[in-house]
C-alpha cells in the first residue's frame, strides 16, 4: 500500500472516474474538494480525509479508508472508500 497518493490517481484507482485524465480535469475545474477547498490534481490524499466530487447535479462524498495507486476491480473499491 502506498503512503502518498495523488488525488487524481486515487479517484481513478477507486473507479470514481473512468480515466486519470478525467479525474485531473475535474480537479482543475474545481469539481473535487477536500475540506471544502478545491484541490489540484497533484495534492496528496491521506487516510480519513473526505473527498467531495461534484458531477452535476450530484455531489458525492467519499471517506478515504485506503490508498491505492493502481486501478482495481469494482468489488475491491469498498475496502478503499466509504460513501
> What pLDDT is stored for residue 83 in this prediction?
85
pLDDT digits (tens, 9 = 90+) for 19-69: 999 999 999 999 999 999 999 999 999 999 999 999 989 999 999 999 999
68 and 79 in contact (C-beta within 8 Å)? no
Domains of the chain from N-terminus onward: 5-82 (3.10.290.10)
In angstroms, the first-to-last Cα distance of the chain is 21
pLDDT of 7 reads 96
> Which of helix, strand or coil describes residue 74?
helix
What's the pLDDT score for residue 6? 95
Amino acid at each position: 500500500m502506498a503512503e502518498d497518493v495523488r488525488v487524481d490517481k486515487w479517484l481513478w484507482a477507486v473507479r470514481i472516474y473512468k480515466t486519470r485524465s478525467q479525474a485531473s480535469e475535474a480537479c482543475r475545474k474545481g469539481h473535487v474538494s477536500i475540506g471544502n477547498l478545491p484541490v489540484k490534481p497533484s495534492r496528496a490524499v491521506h487516510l480519513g480525509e473526505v473527498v467531495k466530487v461534484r458531477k452535476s447535479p450530484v455531489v458525492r462524498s467519499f471517506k478515504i479508508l485506503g490508498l491505492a495507486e493502481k486501478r482495481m476491480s469494482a468489488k475491491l473499491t469498498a475496502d478503499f472508500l466509504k460513501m
